[in-house]
C-alpha cells in the first residue's frame, strides 16, 4: 500500500556521549528502510547549512576539558535545528540506552508526544527494562527491544495491515480530492 512514502521520519537518539555521535545506527536504519520512500530527518546529517554536529561534538569535548563553557553554550543553534526537524517529522524513531546519558533525546520525545505523533522507541536493554515513565508517555506497543521489531512494525504500518493505531497514525489525503 506504501502508506509511508514521503513521510518524514526524525531519527532521535544520543549523540554527545557515544563514540560515533550516533551516526552508525542512523545510517544502518536508513539503508534498511530505504525501499519505503521515507524522508529521513537525521541530526547527524542535517538538511540545512549549519555547523556539522559531529564536528561541533568534537569541539565541545575539547571545550569541556578546557572549561570553556561559553563555547559550549554557543552551540545552542543545534538544539533549535534539531527541535525544528522534530516538529516537521510525521513520526519519530528513537534509540534509547540507559547506559548513555542524553538530554536532547528526551526533550524531542516529549515534544513529539505533546503533538501525539507516532514515536517508535528501541530500548537497548529491552522493553521490559524501559522506564515506567516511558510506558506512561507513549503506547507500550510503540516500545521495542530490537531494531528488527521496529522494521517489522514500520513495514506493517506501510502496508496498511496493522490493526491498531493507538490514536497516533494519521494519513491525510493531500490530493485535493474529497475523501468518502
Q: How far is residue 105's CA from residue 175's CA, in Å, rounded to a whole number?
A: 34
With a cut of 60, say whether residue 104 has pLDDT above it: yes
> 96: helix, coil or strand?
strand
Q: Are 11 and 29 in contact (CB under 8 A)?
A: yes
Kindly list the strands in the beta sheet with 39-41, ordered across the sheet, starting from the edge strand earlier in the chain: 39-41, 8-13, 91-96, 119-123, 143-144
Q: What class does CATH assign to 8-159?
A: alpha beta
pLDDT digits (tens, 9 = 90+) for 10-64: 999 999 899 899 999 999 999 999 999 999 999 998 888 767 777 877 888 899 9
Q: What's residue 178's pLDDT?
A: 63
Backbone angles phi, psi at 162, to 5 degrees: -75, 150
- Name the pLDDT band for 180 (thresholds 50, 70, 90): low
Specify the higher pLDDT residue, 93 or 45.
93
CA distance 30 to 36: 10
Neighbours of 65 (CB within 10 A): 8
The string of pLDDT tens digits covering residues 81-92 is: 999 999 999 999
Q: What's the pLDDT tens digit per position in 109-141?
A: 999 999 999 999 999 999 999 999 999 999 999
Under the banding of pLDDT at 50, 70 and 90, the label for residue 179 is low
Amino acid at each position: 500500500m506504501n502508506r509511508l512514502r514521503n513521510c518524514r521520519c526524525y531519527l532521535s537518539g544520543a549523540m554527545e556521549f557515544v563514540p560515533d555521535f550516533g551516526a552508525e545506527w542512523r545510517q544502518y536504519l536508513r539503508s534498511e528502510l530505504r525501499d519505503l520512500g521515507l524522508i529521513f530527518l537525521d541530526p547527524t546529517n542535517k538538511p540545512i547549512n549549519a555547523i556539522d554536529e559531529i564536528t561541533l561534538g568534537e569541539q565541545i569535548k575539547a571545550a569541556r576539558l578546557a572549561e570553556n563553557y561559553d563555547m559550549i553554550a554557543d552551540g545552542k543553534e543545534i538544539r533549535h535545528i534539531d527541535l525544528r526537524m522534530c516538529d516537521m517529522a510525521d513520526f519519530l524513531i528513537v534509540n534509547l540506552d540507559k547506559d548513555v546519558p542524553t538530554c536532547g533525546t528526551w526533550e524531542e520525545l516529549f515534544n513529539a508526544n505533546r503533538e501525539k505523533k507516532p514515536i517508535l522507541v528501541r530500548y537497548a536493554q529491552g522493553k521490559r527494562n524501559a522506564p515506567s515513565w516511558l510506558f506512561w508517555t507513549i503506547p507500550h506497543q510503540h516500545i521495542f527491544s530490537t531494531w528488527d521489531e521496529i522494521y517489522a512494525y514500520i513495514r506493517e504500518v506501510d502496508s496498511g495491515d496493522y490493526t491498531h493505531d493507538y490514536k497516533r497514525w494519521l494519513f491525510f489525503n493531500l490530493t485535493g480530492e474529497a475523501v468518502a
